Amino acid sequence: SEQRTQERKKPNILITGTPGTGKTTLSQLASESTDLFHINVGELVKEKSLHQGFDHEFQSWILDDDKLVDELEETLSNGGNIVDFHSCEVFPERWFDLVLVLRTDNTILFDRLKDRGYSQKKITENIDSEIFQVILEEARESYPAEIVVELRSNTIEDMQSNVTRIEEWAHKYSCFANQ
């Protein structure tokens, strides 16, 4: 909305989706072709220990929501960021001007996760999550409908058109933002 736009000269974009849908690849490319800064939240959580230990059953870090939000608050309130994370409900709604949810077909996602060396259990969990649109629903529950956009991420062509779309959108944002 207009009010959001006026708060920040540069936008904050959240790129979310099931693991393997291409968040980090897209975020890096989009960051290179805009003046937006890529924040890989998964890496940040490990680096700065923004977690409450490792969950061996789920083979993942148990996120410390408060620590994560505190860590990012200043950077995000300045604007100009692409936030890359496989979940989206932990962040305050006010941080983002655009929320992109990447979507990948099952068979393609399966191959990507297998290439990554994920266990069968973890592959199944993630494929199920993609089939049931868990992250898309989470995004729709956490952010205003008009800023949540689903993007297909099956092929390199999809990737390129997604980069272009982000570039154009970021450009428009800066044109309308208060200088």
CA dihedral of residues 140, 141, 142, 146 (deg, nearest 10): 40
Structure letter (DSSP) for residue 57: T
Binding mask 48-87 for ligand ADP (x = CB under 6 A): ----------------------------------------
How does DSSP classify residue 90? T
Q: Of Mn ion, ligand ADP, none, which one sits near residue 22, judging by CB under 5 to 8 A according to partner kind?
A: ligand ADP
Nearest to 36 by CA among 125, 106, 116, 97: 97
Q: Which of 12, 24, 31, 81 binds ligand ADP (CB under 6 A)?
A: 24
Residue 71 interacts, among Mn ion, ligand ADP, none and using kind-specific CB cut-offs from 5 to 8 Å, with: none
- Cα–Cα distance, 95 to 9 (Å, whole number): 13
How many of the other CB atoms lie within 10 Å of CB of 6? 11
Q: Which of ligand ADP, Mn ion, none interacts with 112 (beta carbon under 5 to 8 A by kind)?
A: ligand ADP
- Token readout for 143 is 């952010």
- Closer by beta carbon to ligand ADP, 22 or else 80: 22
Interface pick for ligand ADP out of 34, 153, 163, 173 (rule CB under 6 A) = 153
Is there binding between residue 150 and ligand ADP (CB under 6 A)? Answer: no
Residue 53 or 117 having the CB closest to ligand ADP:
117
What is the CB-side half-sphere exposure of residue 169 using CA atoms within 13 A?
Answer: 21
- Looking at this protein, which amino acid is placed at residue 25? T
**Of the candidate residues 12, 21, 24, 153, the single one contacting Mn ion (CB under 5 A):** 24
* CB neighbours of residue 136 within 10 Å: 20
Q: Which residues bind Mn ion (CB under 5 A)?
A: 23-24
Q: Which residues bind ligand ADP (CB under 6 A)?
A: 17, 19-25, 112, 153-156, 158-159
